[in-house]
């Protein structure tokens, strides 16, 4: 299922992940990809939700894409997305991609129920660049 079909005018690709290593890898791959978007990183769901409050008040743009890790401490990615979706203004933003190190069918189904795409984390650099290149057509 592909929910990345609504053009968004924002230039920001946001990553929400407790792993600074994963964030670093995505940043490096973005440089090699066709995407030329601004990269914004949050290391927790709470920090991202604070950002979305700024979006709601008009102080920050709606993100072009949100890469949201599922397995985070304190608040997992599903809980974060449920909180975002509970806001009427954000209930239909299509550009969320849930990431996990596994390809658990229950997680895939739950992501789709929340109107998000699901992507297993990549094991190599080139696959990550190719994935980011595939997003270039949607942002």
The per-residue pLDDT for range 96-132, each reduced to its tens digit, is 999 998 889 999 999 999 999 999 988 888 999 988 8
* pLDDT reported for residue 14: 93
* pLDDT reported for residue 86: 92
Architecture of domain 12-135: 3-Layer(aba) Sandwich (3.40)
Domain boundaries, the chain: 12-135
d(C-alpha 136, C-alpha 139), whole Å: 6
* pLDDT reported for residue 139: 64
pLDDT tens-digit readout, 45-87: 999 999 999 988 888 888 889 999 999 999 999 999 999 999 8
């Amino acid at each position: 299922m592909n929910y990345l079909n609504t053009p968004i005018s924002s230039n920001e690709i946001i990553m929400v992940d407790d792993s600074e290593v994963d964030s670093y890898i995505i940043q490096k791959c973005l440089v090699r990809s066709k995407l030329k978007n601004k990269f914004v990183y949050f290391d927790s769901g709470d920090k991202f939700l604070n950002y979305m409050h700024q979006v709601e008040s008009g102080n920050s743009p709606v993100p072009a894409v949100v890469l949201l890790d599922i397995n985070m401490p304190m608040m997992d990615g599903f809980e974060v997305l449920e909180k975002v979706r509970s806001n009427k203004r954000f209930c239909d933003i299509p550009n969320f991609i849930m990431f996990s190190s596994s390809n658990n069918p229950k997680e895939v189904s739950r992501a789709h129920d929340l109107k998000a795409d699901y992507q297993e984390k990549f094991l190599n650099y080139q696959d990550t660049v190719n994935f980011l290149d595939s997003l270039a057509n949607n942002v």
